[in-house]
Amino acid sequence: MSARGPDPASPGGRPPRSPRQSPARRGHASGAPPLASEPGPREHDDDQQDDDERDSLIDVPGGVRLQKVLAAAGVGSRRYCEELIGEGRVEVDGETVRRYGARVDPEHQVIRVDGMRIPSRQDLVYLALNKPAGVLTTMSDDRGRPTIADFLEGYPERLYHVGRLDYDTEGLMLLMNDGELAHRLAHPSYGVLKTYLADVPGPLPRDVGRRLLTGVELEDGVATADKFRVVEQAASRALVELTLHEGRKHIVRRMLAEVGHPVSRLVRTHVGPIALGSQRPGTTRPLTTREIGELYAAVGL
């Protein structure tokens, strides 16, 4: 039911995880594209001293060298990160830094490459889960039913789920221990779009899309889709794609039922810029450095 891309999962059902490496740091090493094309080695010349004096960032006592922080975040090799710094493409707290040895505090300072924020804290974990149907969006259940915690073995961190998926709904869930980012992604005021594919009875009348886009009246108020399209249609069934930014309980199912087309299967395929792709049900994968940066940008961080 979902658009497919490269499958990052391992044959065993979960991607391997090094116990000493945060998943957010593995994007570049695992083959994901770096934030920018990696150039060849830079020739250090007599102009380097001038480059080193072209910024006024105050070094943090006991801080970590900036190129080391960038490399640990998955931006690229340390040599490549030096290239980015020398080219004036790295900012710390809004100030361009050109000194290779600048010392920063990755726990508290905001670091950007080409304007995109990077996940500089080593303790942060960002995951994508393809939740199967018949799984609760909770970490435990007193009735012994399957929960999303069953798919997080090997991750001892306390992770927040971004929004919820109904028991019978499948698809993309984001989990992280970055509380501020998780809050903003889930709050409707930030307008982060979520896209679903739904199997419904056919045929569809011509005005169904217009009704969903202009708003349908539910018992708890009007609900409006941001986008709607028919993916495929046969005489007795149709596959539709619905995008919206709010997250009221059972909202997609209730909207489609209200226009006369109750859902038989529902899959979430996107949360903001993150796509489910071909990730297999029941598997998790770490988000890449670029994906995390895109999430920060989506909520203004």
Residues belonging to the active site: 166
Pairing of strands 170-176, 265-271: parallel
Cα–Cα nearest to 236, from 206, 204, 209, 203: 203
The answer to whether the beta carbons of residues 39 and 85 sit under 8 Å apart is: no
Q: What does the alpha-carbon distance between residue 280 and residue 288 come to, in Å, rounded to a whole number?
A: 18
Residue 95, classified by CB atoms within 10 Å of its CB into exposed (0-12), middle (13-18) or buried (19+), is: exposed
* Displacement of CA 282 from its chain's centroid (Å): 17
| C-alpha pair distances (Å), 224 with each of 62, 73, 200 | 52, 38, 18
Q: What does the alpha-carbon distance between residue 14 and residue 16 come to, in Å, rounded to a whole number?
A: 6
Cα–Cα nearest to 259, from 199, 195, 198, 209: 209
The answer to whether the beta carbons of residues 226 and 276 sit under 8 Å apart is: no
Cα–Cα nearest to 176, from 188, 185, 165: 185
Count of residues in the chain: 301
